[in-house]
């Protein structure tokens, strides 16, 4: 597996992306809004992986609740798999608990989240890119 | 820059490493104790980056305080640079605040930490591998 991205909650994705881009030698920045997740993203491409900055776009967004409780900071890490359904099946055999079902994430990936209780307090995302 | 690793604080690094290794198709696990930082590490090698699990080894460890306050979870991300001194100089020109000086981290890397206030609540580490 690869680390695909690290996701960070911020108050203002435009400002934060500009700051990260200037300092971290980012190749490319792409913005994307995922209405179903209630977030606007800035995807920062580094050499081997991505940093995703996330800003809530409405009051129902789980990211909004995270911001109110914790302030800006690390939110989750995403691991890339070649076959998300196989990975889910293998993890189910190990009693890993998922949050909801497979849905569409950034850059048209198939994604699913794993409960932090299954990975020592870490919210993990699995993602699969379209072939 | 590359994402070198994501660091996670856990109560028991042996147990957590065994769990992560079984589930996440980890190639190799290496254990290391860094007495000066007060931590025992399990370094899990994925295809493109590493996950570092960290357990405090004494009561003075900053990781111990993190655990007591937050429980297990994400702690920091580390970015690899080819020349840590150049990167520090460039970041100093952008008013980035560092925590302490360059010291030795896992796998004999040169490391330095950046204040979370300089990166929207995220504790960032810079690391440089020996050539």
> In this predicted model, what pLDDT tens digit does every residue of A74-129 receive, in sequence order?
999 999 999 999 999 999 999 999 999 999 999 999 999 999 999 999 999 999 99
Strands B50-56 and B2-9: parallel
DSSP, residue by residue, B28-59: EEEEEEEGGGTEEEEEEE-SS-EEEEEEE-ST
pLDDT tens for B7-44 read 999 999 999 999 999 899 898 999 999 998 899 999 99
A46: contact with B, CB 8 A cutoff: yes
Chain B residues whose beta carbon lies within 8 Å of the beta carbon of residue A8: 120-122
A3: contact with B, CB 8 A cutoff: yes
Our measurement of the distance from residue B120's CA atom to the centroid of its chain's CA atoms, rounded to an integer in Å, reads: 18
Strands A2-9 and A50-56: parallel
Please name the member of A76, A79, A120 whose beta carbon is closest to the beta carbon of B24. Answer: A79
Inter-chain CB proximity A6 and B6 less than 8 Å: yes
pLDDT at B52 over 90: yes
Tokens describing residue A45: 């491409």
pLDDT tens for B72-86 read 999 999 999 999 999
Residue A86 confidence (pLDDT)? 96
Query: Long-range contacts of range A98-106, CB-CB < 8 Å, 24 or more positions apart?
Result: A103/A36, A104/A34, A104/A36, A105/A34, A105/A37, A106/A32, A106/A34, A106/A41, A106/A43, A106/A52
């Amino acid at each position: 597996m690869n680390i695909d991205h690290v996701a960070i909650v911020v108050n203002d994705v435009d400002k934060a992306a500009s700051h990260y881009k200037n300092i971290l030698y980012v190749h490319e920045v792409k913005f994307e809004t995922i209405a179903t997740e209630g977030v606007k993203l800035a995807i920062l491409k580094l050499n081997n992986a991505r940093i995703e900055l996330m800003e809530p776009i409405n009051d129902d967004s789980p990211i909004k609740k995270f911001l109110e409780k914790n302030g800006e900071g690390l939110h989750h890490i995403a691991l890339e798999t070649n076959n998300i359904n196989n990975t889910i099946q293998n993890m189910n055999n190990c009693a890993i608990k998922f949050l909801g079902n497979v849905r569409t994430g950034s850059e048209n990936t198939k994604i699913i989240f794993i409960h932090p209780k299954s990975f020592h307090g870490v919210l993990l995302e699995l993602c699969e890119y379209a072939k």
